[in-house]
Structure 1
Amino acid sequence: MLQLFVRFQVMLVGPRRRDEGQTTAEYALVLLGAAAVALLLVGWATKTNRIGKLLDFVLDQIVGRVT
């Protein structure tokens, strides 16, 4: 009788779900979001030439202190 009750409970509740796959999917989504932000930032920086201006400024400051 007890075995029948346990089997019936298992059929009603079903197998326990594990959240490991969900965690992996969440990490993948976070990585995709970070990559999208990085691509937008690189696109903006190359379009406005801000990175080149920043590097020129830094190198001018270094050369100015050396000479």
Structure 2
Amino acid sequence: MLQIDGKRITNLEMETAGIYALANMFGHHALSINAILASRVHDAFAENPQKIVDDAIQYVLARL
């Protein structure tokens, strides 16, 4: 587990790690937005995953 400014990061997906590494190599900035659809710890899954994904997309687009 990684902790930054008192916030715990418990997972970093492979694709995001690769994007961050490439961005860093070329002097770019990168950001990954992830829709959390399941908790493996609690064996729980989102009841409406499509809405969560759509909301995440709208959140990002509203801030571009």
Query: Scaled by the length of structure 1, what TM-score is found?
Result: 0.27
Query: Scaled by the length of structure 2, what TM-score is found?
Result: 0.28
Greater relative contact order (Cα < 8 A, sep 6+) = 2
The structure having more radius of gyration, on CA atoms, is: 1
Higher strand content, 1 or 2: 2
Higher helix content, 1 or 2: 1
